[in-house]
A = this chain, B = another copy of it.
Amino acid sequence: MSENSDQQADLMVDVVILTLNESARLCVLLTKRKEAPFEGSPALPGRYIRIDEDVDADEAAQKVLLSKTGLKQPYLEQLYTFTGRFRDARNWSASIAYFALVPMFSLSAQSDTARGYSLVPVDTVPKLPFDHNEIIAKAVDRVRGKAAYTSLPCHLLPETFTLADLQSTYEAVLGHALDKSSFRRKVDDLDFLEKVTEMRVGKHRPAQLYRIKPSRSLAFFDRTV
């Protein structure tokens, strides 16, 4: 591949960072592009892979995530690689897309937009440059699909949470309501949560707080064969 080094594909990573907003809606983080083309437009955070700095694409994606959220231990998974001559008018390019699930942002909406990024509900994403809409759609599909039979959505919650929090998170991701009793039975069967000594106190009856058992950071629901 060295005989024609000016005829190379561009290689980059893009990261779909998903979180819940205050209304418990699933949102994607978008940055304002600082360079041409589409300077100023919102787009997915991402950058070119730097083969002298990045050991592999996972590391590059982690760095993107770290620079946007400051988080070191999020859930990060490779999603799909989008390629082709036409997805970026400048050149044949390959973007290795990742998605990340991060707990609800503690940052205020103000400082977010000040830093040039915004949280947008996944069902109201505007037209974005390149094939970024397609990338987001695929990420949401994947998370929805896995939510049906794994504990993946837990990563959208803070360290400790109530069962009601957990259920509304699943409902936000899946897009439909769940029965409380069935949901709790299933969570109980899966046995990936442990009680925390404290309770959440609020305006009404306090609720038990839980956290994910250290050993079971991604548990699988039964799947009927």
Contacts and interface: CB of A to CB of B under 8 A. Distances in A.
Contacts of A57: 81, 83-84, 94
A56 interface: yes
Contact of A96 (B7, B51, B94, B225): B94
A223 B225 contact: no
A80 B83 contact: no
A48 interface: yes
A94 B224 contact: no
A178 B91 CA distance: 50
Contact of A94 (B80, B85, B91, B94): B94
Contact of A84 (B6, B55, B80, B148): B55
Contacts of A56: 83-85
A73 to B, nearest CB: 21
Interface stretch (A8-16, A106-114, A204-212): A8-16
Nearest to A48: B1
Nearest to A6: B5
Interface of A: 1-2, 5-11, 48-49, 51-52, 55-58, 78, 80-81, 83-86, 91-92, 94, 96, 148-149, 174, 178, 221-225
Given A1-B48, A8-B8, A78-B80, 16 more contacts: A1-B8, A2-B6, A5-B6, A5-B8, A7-B51, A7-B52, A9-B11, A49-B94, A51-B92, A56-B85, A81-B96, A94-B96, A148-B223, A222-B224, A223-B223, A223-B224
